[in-house]
């Protein structure tokens, strides 16, 4: 029987964001995809042998990690999205509060700016733009996600995650700095970190072969 992998996408990302990774592993694993919004709404992560989660999905995976999970891959993720005293690896709360206010007036403008930063230093492809526009979450779900990111903090949970963890992060991530991945590496006892140069938050979109090679080697160990 095949081992199972659960993919969880990040804030404002639909299933299409992780579908290529799931497709690449479908011959060897039973795959399932959930969006970060779905996990946040249900407040649960279903059983799976392995979990691959990005950004907000990674925070949710660490917070709600099922006992069945034997390996965890965190792509462009963090233990705490917002910066705080003693923790400089995050975004100012003012940025998220401004986004929440703007979402209620002009959600399209908020998403355009967000995805521009997601894909830097590269540009978002026309195909990616079309895909996200077709599957954009409703503004209420986007606000709920930002409110979760404002309060989320799994730093106390991290040292108790005693399974192998692969951390993949872009060196030029504009959404979550690479220092957040370095913090995770220092506090996750069974983790390995790969920082990819000339890459940003949308690591699988622009460094797909690099991501899949590292992931396949880790999952096959």
Residue matched to tokens 């649960």 = 44
Helix intervals (H) in 43-138: 56-63, 93-103, 107-119, 126-134
For residue 115, give the nearest of 101, 96, 129, 98 by alpha carbon: 129
pLDDT 10s digit of each residue in the chain, 221 long? 789 999 999 999 999 999 999 999 999 999 999 999 999 999 999 999 999 999 999 999 999 999 999 999 999 999 999 999 999 999 999 999 999 999 989 999 999 999 999 999 999 999 889 888 888 888 999 999 999 999 999 999 999 999 999 999 999 999 999 999 999 999 999 999 999 999 999 999 999 999 999 999 999 87
Question: What is residue 136's predicted lDDT score, i.e. its pLDDT?
Answer: 80
For residue 55, give the nearest of 164, 146, 161 by alpha carbon: 146
Write down all domains in the chain, each with its CATH number in brackets.
Answer: 4-219 (3.40.50.1820)
Question: What is residue 55's predicted lDDT score, i.e. its pLDDT?
Answer: 98
- Tens of pLDDT, residue by residue over 58-97, are 999 999 999 999 999 999 999 999 999 999 999 999 999 9
Question: What is residue 16's predicted lDDT score, i.e. its pLDDT?
Answer: 93
3-state secondary structure of 196: strand
């Amino acid at each position: 029987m095949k081992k199972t992998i659960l993919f969880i996408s990040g804030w404002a990302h639909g299933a299409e964001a992780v579908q290529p990774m799931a497709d690449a592993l479908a011959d060897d694993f039973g795959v399932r995809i959930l969006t970060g919004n779905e996990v946040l709404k249900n407040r649960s992560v279903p059983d799976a042998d392995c979990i691959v989660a990005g950004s907000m999905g990674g925070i949710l995976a660490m917070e709600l990690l099922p006992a069945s999970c034997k390996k965890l891959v965190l792509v462009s993720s963090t233990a705490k999205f917002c910066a705080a005293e003693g923790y400089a690896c995050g975004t100012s709360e003012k940025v998220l509060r401004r986004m929440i206010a703007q979402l209620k007036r002009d959600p399209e403008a908020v998403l355009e700016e967000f995805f521009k930063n997601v894909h830097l230093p590269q540009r978002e492809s026309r195909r990616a733009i079309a895909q996200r526009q077709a599957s954009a979450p409703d503004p209420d779900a986007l606000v709920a996600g930002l409110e979760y990111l404002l309060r989320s903090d799994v730093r106390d949970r991290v040292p108790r995650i005693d399974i192998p963890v692969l951390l993949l992060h872009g060196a030029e991530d504009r959404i979550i700095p690479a220092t957040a991945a370095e913090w995770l590496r220092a506090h996750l006892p069974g983790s390995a970190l790969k920082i990819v140069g000339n890459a940003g938050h949308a690591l699988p979109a622009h460094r797909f072969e690099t991501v899949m090679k590292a992931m396949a080697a880790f999952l096959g160990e």
